[in-house]
Structure 1
Amino acid sequence: MPAAPRIAPSDLFSPADWAPFQSRPAWAGPLLVAHCWAVIILAVVAGVVWPLLIPICVMIVGTRQLGLAILMHEAAHGGLSRNARLNDFLGHWLCAVPVGASLTAYRPYHLKHHRFVQQPEDPDLMLSAPFPVSPASLRRKMIRDLTGQTFFKQRVLLPLAMRRQAGTTEAVADTHDYEAVVTGRSILPFLMFNLGLLILCTAAGVWWAFLVLWLLPMATWFPLVTRLRNIAEHACVEGSATDPFRAARTTRTGWLERAFIAPYWVNFHAEHHLFMHVPCWNLPRLHRAVRARPQGAEMEVADGYLTVLREASRGRTPAPTA
């Protein structure tokens, strides 16, 4: 069972050069969680006060729901707080549960992904292996996301299947491991959180805001940007199974992409796979430092998510016939 190739920080940096990338101020992780929720609350309030802004607010909330999942990912690496109990509290109850996930289930799954990235044992391999696909196939996937079909599968069909097949492995046979392990096993806390949110909105006299400005983003924009993130991170990166500098892709972003697709530095994925314990807020600086070294020229860096989508939808070259 071969593990993914990797390098040590000392292969690129002196101890003095490496030290800043390990800094973890006690306030940074909690501040990111507070920022994410503040953006969500402000977008909901804006949609209630100015209904014409609802389409934009739906995209903003959906992107910050992805932000909560990203911060759960940060917690899986112990990055939200040096205090393990606080890190796990923030990552589970304030990040994972609201979007229907579980930090407890996600952490071992995700660390296995890091250990075996792009190897046959990688549980995320099926997210990247099918690409490139045809433009029509990619459109169908994105339509399923935007029309709520992906949400319905993950939040309704999968938990029902797991309940019927409790104690067996059949429930996860036809789905991605992440959906089964992280989403399917966390339905009760997810329902309780959302019931509380509905009660809160109803008490405030805006019950419809829960449906339009929380549930609708989760059923549409959140699955779409999650798919874009998954494609951008590992799909169509040549040499990803053998070269640690090409285990993942980094995608350059402007402020619009950071606001509506890729919050909290999630686009710096090549750097994250090189050194997974560097906190997310240090990834831009790490990107510049690695790219300044000769080895950094080998990294896969895309000029935006449209570039990634064009690469991922160029279709497969037909195999030569005898």
Structure 2
Amino acid sequence: MARQLHSKPQVRLDRSLFKARSGESLLIIGYALCLFLLPLALFVWVANTASTLWVLLCSPLWVLAGYGWFLQAILGHEGFHFNLSSKPMHSCYLGILTSSLLPGFCVTGYFVDHWQHHRYSNSEQDPDYRHFSRYRSLFSRLALSRLIATSNYLQATLRLAFGPPVSPSPLPSPLSAAQVRRLARCNIACQVGWLSVYTVALWQIDGLLLGFALSLAVAFLLSAVNAYQEHAFSEGHDQPPARSRTSRLSTWLHVGANFHLEHHFYPAVPCWRLPKVHRQLLEAGWYADRQYLLEKRFVPSFKYASARHPYRGDTVNA
């Protein structure tokens, strides 16, 4: 296991921050759906009723819809961290239902790697480090890193659903191997179901194809950049674990998942409560000499996808 350069903060958090509440989770799911569907619907209306100039001027709408789509993947991630419900399987099913809105993204296969990412963050045993560190150029990071990762997650989900039984469970307790198999099959069924809904909608609604394609492209690029925004640093920094993006706009668009370092320290805290965790760490002085672990501006956070910021390893966050 790699060296631990940034140990978990010795800050006592309110235990209520860790409690999953289904009603609260449903509100967050509703927010994510509105961020996806409302801008998309408005863009489609403009595309069908206005001039080409107005369609171009309304490009922020499909950018917002792309963020809403990307939020579905974040909610899938939260579901498998058991943060959407106090009942682990219910949390996973909610995560599957929402994240399957994103075509091709299978959260069950993703989490096989993701919990190892938490356990061995940024070390050779971390699947994310092994995958994302191999891409050095901006083009390969944008065009290939997430495409190949998503393909791997889909293949892993298919193996879990229909391949030979895996024992012990490839996912952390309390999920059994049989439960993981059911989740994987549910994940495939939800993907097929949402794709069927999209096919009918695209056939029936004029202009939807354009908005659908543009917002999906945004969601894909956001997911590709995200890994590097969270884990890529300049050469001068000594093997940091993760980065938190603290702009208010990032918090609105990512419902708190932008506080990624806090998530690594406290993965059982739902992402929308991580801003409170961040404020407690600030008040405790933990960030006083660790400002390079923060990106306070929204637009500059995208620079970490460039080759000047390598995805580096040899550190543990837990």
Q: TM-score, normalised by structure 1?
A: 0.71
Matched to 1:212, the amino acid is: L
Aligned to 1:289: 280
1:107-134 Cα offsets, whole Å, 9 max, x none, are 2211100000011111111465358x5x
Instruction: Let me know the Cα RMSD of the aligned residues.
Output: 3.7
Q: 1:201-212 maps to which residues of 2 (within 5 A)?
A: 201-202=202-203, 205-209=204-208, 211-212=209-210
**Partner residue in 2 for 1:275:** 266
Query: Could you say what secondary structure the match of 1:50 adopts?
Result: helix
- Other structure's SS at 1:291 match: helix
Alignment partners' CA distance in 2, 1:86 and 1:221: 30
Match of 2:97, as an amino acid? W
- The worse-fitting range, judged by mean Cα deviation, of 77-86 and 22-31 is 22-31
Change (3 A) 1:280 1:291: same
Contact 1:68 1:99 in 2 (8 A): no
Deviation at residue 8 of structure 1 after TM alignment: 5.7
SS of corresponding position for 2:269: coil
Structure 1: distance between partners of 2:99 and 2:299: 28
In the alignment, the residues of structure 2 paired with residue 23 and residue 119 of structure 1 have an alpha-carbon distance, to the nearest angstrom, of: 30
Unaligned runs of 5+ in 1: 168-182, 241-245, 318-322
Say if 1:308 and 1:195 are closer, same or farther in 2 by CA, change over 3 A. same
Counterpart selection for 2:79 from 75, 80, 83: 75
CA–CA distance in 2 between the matches of 1:286 and 1:85?
Answer: 26
Cα distance, 1:7 vs structure 2: 4.8
Percentage of identical aligned residues: 21
Report SS of the residue matched to 1:296. Answer: coil
Task: Quickly say closer, same or farther: Cα 1:311–1:112, change in 2 above 3 A.
Answer: closer
How many Å apart are 1:2 and its aligned residue? 4.7
The answer for unaligned runs of 5 or more in structure 2 is: 48-53, 164-183, 311-318
| Alpha-carbon distance in 2 for matches of 1:301, 1:109 | 25
The answer for the alignment partner of 2:214 in structure 1 is 216
8 A contact 2:243–2:295 mirrored in 1: yes
The CA distance in 2 between the partners of 1:152 and 1:191, in whole Å, is 20
Secondary structure of residue in 1 paired with 2:38: helix
User: How far did residue 57 of structure 1 move?
Assistant: 2.5
Equivalent residues of 2:72, 2:99 under 8 A apart: yes
TM-score (norm 2): 0.71
Q: Does 1:304 align with 2:297?
A: yes
Once the two structures are overlaid, the 10-residue window that deviates more, 51-60 or 246-255, is 51-60
In 2, Cα distance between the equivalents of 1:195 and 1:187?
Answer: 12
- Cα–Cα, structure 1 residues 21 and 188, in superposed 2: closer, same or farther, change >3 Å? closer
Partner of 1:175: none
Tell me how far apart the structure 2 counterparts of residues 187 and 86 of structure 1 sit (CA, whole Å). 17
Q: Is the 8 Å Cα contact of residues 230 and 243 (structure 2) preserved in structure 1?
A: yes
Could you tell me whether the CA contact under 8 Å between 1:228 and 1:305 is conserved in 2? no
Say if 1:100 and 1:187, in contact at 8 Å, map to a contact too: no
Aligned to 2:229: 232
- Structure-2 residue corresponding to 1:36: 32
Q: What is the deviation of 1:250?
A: 0.7
Deviates further, 298-307 or 267-276: 298-307
Counting only pairs closer than 5 Å after superposition, residues 179-190 of structure 1 correspond to structure 2 as 189-190=190-191
| Per-residue deviation, 1:91 | 0.5
What's 2:242 paired with?
Answer: 248
